[in-house]
Structure 1
Amino acid sequence: MTQSIVVQVGQCGNQIGCRFWDLALREHAAVNKTGMYDEPLSSFFRNVDSRYDDTSDIPVGDGKGKIRSLKARAVLVDMEEGVVTELTNGPLREVFDYQQLITDVSGCGNNWAVGHKMYGVQYREQLSDTIRRAAEYCDCLQCFFVMHSMGGGTGSGVGTSILNLLEEEYPDVYRFVTAVYPSVEDDVITSPYNSVLAMRELTEHADCVLPVENQALVEIVNKISQAVPSLKTGKRTYSTTGVKSGSAITSSQGGVTSPAEEKPFDSMNNLVANLLLNMTSSARFEGSLNVDLNEITMNLVPFPKLHYLVSSQSPLYAMSDVNLPPRRLDQMFSDAFSRDHQLLRADPKHSLYLACALMLRGNAEISDIRRNIDRLKPNLKFIHWNQEGWKTGLCSVPPVGQPYSLLTLANNTCVRHTFSELKDRFVKLYKRKAHIHHYTQIDGMELADFGESLESLNSIITEYSSLETHMNSPPPPEPRLQILT
């Protein structure tokens, strides 16, 4: 069994991470009725002897008389300690290893340069030691998941600094990044600078990036609220069905978590957490057609820098305990290719697919996937040299409360429209050199960094655009062998 480490950076990354660990514990609790440590749990959790760990007060028997507790394979980083402190004082406090937390008090002031050039350098050795400690607890480390926002200073700056460190010190371990992009109405005026400066680092140093747009999350949550009126109250009911009291996968209150109400961004963060849960389901549970995480990059990234994947999910649910009416399997496939179910505001149907992965969970058959591919394929445009560019996965364990779920990950040229909008917002600020001095006054930050980052973004947009030209032009003729006499 392989293991993965989650690196949560900044307010956004840590809040998403909190939802991920909460929901992951729920899924394992639904399957693991005895509360015993097993291989699926080992993928994202480690088993700790509580007698030598004073950070935990949730004992669980391992059947041999020893006292054990679970610790998340997580590193929590934030240059403002508020969110991390809230997590370590909250219902999941026993899940986090206090030696895996790195915080400061002053924050990055929504400035990529402060995060990347100042704190990234200042904390590099501590970050390296903390990540190394987490890696040493793994028997077979396969992947790092980095979660952060693009618009703030810590997420974009420190997050990409950590990404560079991971590439340097763990070059053979895959680096997946979940990056939350700011909306057009973002209240951080410098967010276009931060996003474009960070994108250069993501393009150069990540293996796979799952871009998520804040505005898309807001729209999805609003649609769910309209469809399920009870969601408007924000009240939650916490079920402990299938969770053994006092086990490592329950809290001291008897449930996985037990706050009375959702916090403001929990609904949006749950959507992103479900994306990660579905993508890692094959690494955590058995299935007839499991997809290894390295297969995602192998099959969906034909060119090294074009590693931005559009994600879509069905069913969509923002609250962790909402029991929505089950969707028909075929309808879920149709939904997953609808722009209403995407975590990015783009339209892949009218753009070009380079490759696509379908990751289905539940009691389904491979024939169900094949049937739906045959049904949907005529309406989707695949590049001529990869007409059969489908990667399929089938995990037998569904999400809690749902019979099935479907995640699609598409390498599609439609992301260029999102990047073009970001570029336009960047240029609008940069051509007036607005707020530039806040960046260039940081040691190591130069004006050239802006120009090079813009050039990198232009390159990505151009490459996706050039591939899209294949949509309206026939494939080149097959070369014919000529015999010279």
Structure 2
Amino acid sequence: MTQSILIQVGQCGNQIGCRFWDLALREHAQYNKAGVFDGPMSSFFRNVDTRYANPVEIPLGDGRAKIRALKARAVLVDMEQGVVGELMRGPLGEVFDHQQLITDVSGSGNNWAVGNRTYGSLYRDQITESLRKAAEHCDCLQSFFIIHSMGGGTGSGVGTRILELLQDHYPEVYRFTTAVFPSADDDVVTSPYNSVLALHELTERADCVLPVDNQALMDICHKVTKTGRPGGGLVKAGSEITSGARGGEKPFDSMNNIVANLLINLTSASRFEGSLNVDLNEITMNLVPYPRLHYLVSALSPLYVSPDLRLPPRKLDQMFTDAFSKEFQLLKVDPKHSLYLACALLLRGNVNMSDIRRNIERLRPSLHFVHWNQQGWKTGLCSVPPSGQPYSLLSLANNTCFRHTLTDIQDHFNKLYKRKAHLHHYSRVDGMEMGLFGESMESLSSLVEEYSSLQATLNQLQGDTPRLRIM
């Protein structure tokens, strides 16, 4: 059985990580009612006391988390300790190893340079040591999952510094990143700078990036809350763990829960048995044809905003339709009108392969795949359904529609950079080379060009590109 380590960075990363562990414990409690520490549980948890090897106690979903001898394979990092502190005081606190916490009190001031250069250097040895300890507890370490935001200082700066450390110290271990992009009306004025600087690092150092954006998540939450039914979870609503702003001004718990469910479904093959489980290394092998184009657009059906608030169960065929609808994408994009390089369909529950093949054939005519990968489908099937649903579907698409997200960031960056606005906040940070702005922008422009050149092949086939007229 392989193991993975979750690295939660910044306020956003720790909020999402909290939801992930809540959901993971609920699933193991539901499908391992005897509480025996088994192989599936060892993928993300370790048993710290052999006296309690059989059984261990895990939460039963009633709001009382009784956790004995279980520790999450996690490293928690935040340069403003409020969220991590409350998480440790909450019902899930016992599942975290206190030696795997790295916090400060002042925060990164929404500045990539402060996070990456100042705190990244200051805590480099401590982070390296925490990663080493977490790795040594694994028998067969397969992957690291980093959860962070792109617009903030700690998430973008420290998060990408950790990615650099992983590349240097664990080059053979897969590096997956879940990156939360800011919405167009984000109130952090420096978020375009932070996003572009972080994107450069993600492009060069990550094996696979799962981008999501706040606007898409907010739209999904609005849709679900109109049709779902209310309920609660193990995490207290209104706390710093569940709020986007300090003091609980704006609740982001529902948005965090959607991203957590993305990770729950992605890792289900590692945590449970299945007739056609897709290993994590198969994701990068089958969905990343070019090293730099490793950004995968994700969609979930059914949608979740809390353990007890979700859309009603979907019919199986409707789930496949949902996965390619723009309303179910975790980015504000529409993949059906762009070019697919590859696509994975990861299902959970009592689903037959004949159902999968039938729906692929049904949807194939409406999708555009690159000419050299017309059969670019990867399918996975985990027999254990998600908690409270008969089945679920996670779609991961390597699609040229991601260029729209990149060009939006590019435009917001240029509006600031051409006026040299707020650059002094970065130039005064020790170790920050201002030439990195130009280098990062060149990297982003090159990435956009790669996606656009692939999209151009589809436009030519559809007759959207004017042809040269010979007189």
TM-score between both structures, scaled by the size of structure 2: 0.91
1:91·1:259 contact (CA, 8 Å) conserved in 2? no
* Structure 1 equivalent of residue 203 of structure 2: 203
Give the 5 Å matches for 1:347-366: 347-366=334-353
Q: Structure 1: which 4+ aligned runs deviate by more than 2 Å?
A: 257-263, 322-325, 472-475
Name the counterpart of 1:25.
25
Aligned to 1:110: 110
Aligned with residue 369 of structure 2, among 369, 382, 386: 382
Residue number in structure 1 paired with 2:270: 283
Distance 2:16 2:357 in 1: 33
SS at match of 1:473: helix
Output the aligned Cα RMSD: 1.6
**Cα distance change of structure 1 residues 112 and 382 upon mapping to structure 2, 3 Å threshold:** same
Q: CA deviation at 1:446?
A: 2.1
**Residue 372 of structure 1 pairs with residue 395 of structure 2:** no
Cα distance in 2 between the residues matched to 1:368 and 1:74: 37
Match of 1:241 in 2: none
CA distance in 2, matches of 1:350, 1:187: 30
> What is the aligned counterpart of 1:404 among 354, 376, 391?
391
Task: Say whether 1:174 aligns with 2:174.
Answer: yes
Map of 1:315-354 to 2, 5 A cutoff? 315-322=302-309, 324-354=311-341
In 2: Cα distance, 1:307 partner to 1:424 partner = 22
Q: Which secondary structure does the structure 2 equivalent of 1:33 belong to? A: coil
Give the match's secondary structure for 2:19.
helix
- Give the equivalent residue in structure 2 for 1:194: 194
**What is the letter of the counterpart of residue 407 of structure 1?**
L
| Structure 2 equivalent of residue 221 of structure 1 | 221
Identity of aligned residues (%): 70
* Shift, 1:472, TM fit: 3.1
Alignment gaps of 5+ in structure 1: 52-59, 239-256, 476-485
Task: Give the aligned residue type for 2:4.
Answer: S
**Partners of 1:40 and 1:284 within 8 A in 2:** yes
Q: Distance in 1 between matches of 2:126 and 2:237?
A: 36
> What aligned pairs does 1:117-156 form with structure 2 within 5 A after superposition?
117-156=117-156
Distance 1:326 1:307 in 2: 31
CA contact under 8 A between 1:62 and 1:68: conserved in structure 2? no
Gaps of 5+ in 2: 57-66, 243-250, 463-471
- Counterpart Cα distance in 2 of 1:144 and 1:79: 21
Which secondary structure does the structure 1 equivalent of 2:420 belong to?
coil
Q: For residues 97 and 104 of structure 2, what CA distance do their matches in structure 1 show?
A: 17
Alignment length (residue pairs):
442
- Given the superposition, is the C-alpha separation of residues 61 and 288 from structure 1 closer, same or farther in structure 2, using an over 3 Å criterion? closer
| Aligned-partner Cα distance in 1 for 2:96–2:110 | 27
Determine the C-alpha separation between the residues in 2 that align with 1:37 and 1:473.
56
Determine the structure 1 residue equivalent to 2:60: none
User: 2:295 & 2:235 partners in 1: Cα distance?
Assistant: 36
1:236-280 superposed Cα distances (whole Å, 9 cap, x missing partner): 2x5xxxxxxxxxxxxxxxxxx363678321100000000000000
Match runs of 1:157-172 below 5 Å: 157-172=157-172
Which amino acid in structure 2 is aligned with residue 356 of structure 1? C
1:30-86 CA-partner distances (Å, limit 9, x unpaired): 1001011000000000001188xxxxxxxx56269xx96100000000000111001
Cα deviations across residues 153-204 of structure 1 (Å, max 9, x unaligned)? Answer: 0000000000000000000000000000001111100000000000000000
Q: Is the partner of 2:77 in helix, strand or coil?
A: strand
Give the SS at the match of 2:69. Answer: strand
Q: Which residue of 2 aligns with 1:62?
A: 54
Deviation at 1:323, TM superposition (A): 6.1
- Distance between the aligned counterparts of 2:134 and 2:439, measured in 1? 34
Query: Where does residue 42 of structure 2 map in the other structure?
Result: 42
Asked if structure 2 preserves the Cα contact closer than 8 Å seen for 1:323 and 1:402, the reply is: no
**Matched residue type, 1:259:** K
Structure 1 residues 306-362: Cα deviation after superposition (integer angstroms, max 9, x where no partner): 000000000012011236432110010001110000100001000000000000000
- Paired residues for 1:423-462 under 5 Å: 423-462=410-449
Amino acid at match of 1:352: L
Gap change, CA 1:382 and 1:7, over 3 Å in 2: same
Closer/same/farther in 2, CA of residues 323 and 439 from structure 1, 3 Å limit? closer
**d(CA) in 1 for partners of 2:85, 2:42:** 26
User: 3-state SS of the aligned residue for 1:445?
Assistant: coil
Tell me the distance in 1 between the aligned counterparts of 2:199 and 2:311: 36
CA gap 1:404/1:224 in 2 versus in 1, 3 angstroms? same
Letter in 1 for 2:32: N
- 2:2 maps to which residue? 2
Q: Deviations over 1:97-153 (max 9, x none)?
A: 001000011110000000001111111111000000000000000000000000000
- SS of equivalent residue, structure 1 residue 192: helix
- The question of whether the paired residues in 2 share the 8 Å contact of 1:50 and 1:68 is answered with no
Are the aligned partners of 2:111 and 2:152 in contact in 1 as well (CA < 8 Å)? yes
Work out the CA distance in 1 between the residues paired with 2:138 and 2:53. Answer: 22
Letter in 1 for 2:97: D
Secondary structure of the corresponding residue to residue 306 of structure 2: coil
Amino acid across the alignment from 1:147: I
Normalising by the residue count of structure 1, what TM-score does the alignment of the two structures yield?
A: 0.89
Contact conserved, 2:47 with 2:53, CA < 8 A, in 1?
A: no
User: How far does residue 474 in structure 1 lie from its aligned partner after superposition?
Assistant: 5.2
Distance 1:19 1:214 in 2: 16
Structure-to-structure mapping, 1:237-316, within 5 angstroms: 257=234, 259=236, 263=242, 264-316=251-303
Q: Residues 384 and 225 from structure 1, CA distance in 2 versus in 1: closer, same or farther, beyond 3 angstroms?
A: same
**Aligned residue in 2 for 1:242:** none
User: Within 2, Cα distance between the matches of 1:474 and 1:102?
Assistant: 52
Q: Any idea what the Cα deviations from partners look like across 1:411-443, whole Å, max 9, x if unmatched?
A: 000000011011000000000000001101111
| Distance of 1:343 and 1:218 partners within structure 2 | 10
Alpha-carbon distance between aligned partners in 2 of 1:50 and 1:92, rounded to the nearest angstrom: 21
2: CA distance between counterparts of 1:317 and 1:134? 30
Per-residue deviation, residues 273-306 of structure 1 (Å, max 9, x unmatched) = 0000000000110011000000000000000000
Q: Secondary structure at the match of 2:438?
A: helix
